[in-house]
């Protein structure tokens, strides 16, 4: 079986991380940096999961889900703090 890297997901992940870094450099926004970097790493992990052994595919999916969950937690924190000003 040929090991393939999903180029679309890989390029999307790298693009998201680059845009997040540029956004951080221009506006000093830590929350958006965290959200987009965690999401970008999740996309990169999903793009690489087929490249490794079959046993490790599930592990990469779980790692990617963990990074997406981290991005969701940061997003919820940002909404509660900045938009709703709860704390």
Show the tokens assigned to 78: 């940002």
| Residue 34, pLDDT score | 93
Express each pLDDT in 37-84 by its tens digit. Answer: 999 999 999 999 888 888 888 899 999 999 999 999 999 998 998 888
CB 43 within 8 A of CB 10: yes
Contact status, residue 16 vs residue 43, Cβ threshold 8 Å: yes
Query: Could you tell me the pTM of the whole model?
Result: 0.86
> 3-state DSSP call for residue 29?
coil
> Higher model confidence: residue 71 or residue 87?
71
pLDDT above 90: residue 86: no
Residue-level pLDDT at 1: 57
Interval 17-39: pLDDT, tens: 999 999 999 998 888 899 999 99
């Amino acid at each position: 079986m040929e090991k393939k890297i999903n180029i679309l997901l890989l390029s999307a992940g790298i693009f998201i991380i680059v845009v997040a870094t540029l956004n951080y450099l221009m506006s000093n926004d830590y929350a958006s940096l965290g959200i987009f970097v965690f999401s970008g790493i999740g996309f990169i992990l999903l793009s690489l999961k087929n490249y490794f052994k079959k046993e490790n595919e599930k592990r990469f999916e779980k790692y990617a889900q963990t990074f997406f969950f981290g991005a969701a937690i940061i997003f919820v924190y940002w909404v509660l703090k900045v938009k709703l000003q709860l704390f």
